[in-house]
Structure 1
Amino acid sequence: MSPETALTELRDGLEIALWVGGPLLLVVLVVGVVVGVIQAATQLNEPTIAFVAKAVALTAALFATGSYLLGVLVEYTTTLFQRLPHLIG
């Protein structure tokens, strides 16, 4: 395997990781900021509230996008296994 091929496969893997993890991390980030602003405005600094809100938002995001994200992972894995004999030599 040439270094260019290895870097291409590494880039593809990182891109898939970004596509799968990005939306979920973005949802948790937005909910965390909103809950933080609300807690700062009301002076109610309870860490459990932020954790529960983030957990609920992450669960909702997984229910909403889970099948799409799983499809992306399955497609990438299938194509990687099909390319494996060509990558090895």
Structure 2
Amino acid sequence: MTPEVAVDLFREALWLTATIVAIIVVPSLLVGLLVAMFQAATQINEQTLSFLPRLLVILVTLIVAGPWLAQRMIEYTQNLIMNIPLLIG
């Protein structure tokens, strides 16, 4: 395996990981920001108030985007396994 191939595999894996994390984390961050703005406007200083909406948004995101994310991971793994003879030789 040449260094270029190893770097390309690592780049593809890193991009897939970043995509999966972004799809899950970004909606949670946006809801957390909205709840924080609401808390600042109403002066409610409850720490647990932002936890439940973020948790629900992550759950809904996983339900909606989960099959697509799993399919992307399966495709990457299948591609990696099928190309083992080409990568080694």
Taking structure 2 as the reference length, the TM-score comes to 0.93
CA distance in structure 2 between the partners assigned to 1:84 and 1:32 by the alignment: 43
**Which amino acid is the alignment partner of residue 76 of structure 1?**
Y
Report the 3-state secondary structure (helix = DSSP H, G, I; strand = E; otherwise coil) of the residue aligned with 2:83: helix
Aligned length: 89
Unpaired segments ≥5 residues, structure 1? none
Cross-structure match for 1:80: 80
Compute the displacement of 1:67 (Å). Answer: 0.7
Cα distance in structure 1, aligned partners of 2:39 and 2:60: 22
Within 5 Å, which residues of 2 pair with 1:1-89? 1-89=1-89
C-alpha separation in 2, matches of 1:25 and 1:49 = 18
- Superposition CA RMSD, Å: 1.0
When normalised by structure 1's length, the TM-score is: 0.93
Q: Deviations over 1:7-63 (max 9, x none)?
A: 100000011112212111111110111111011111111121111111011001111
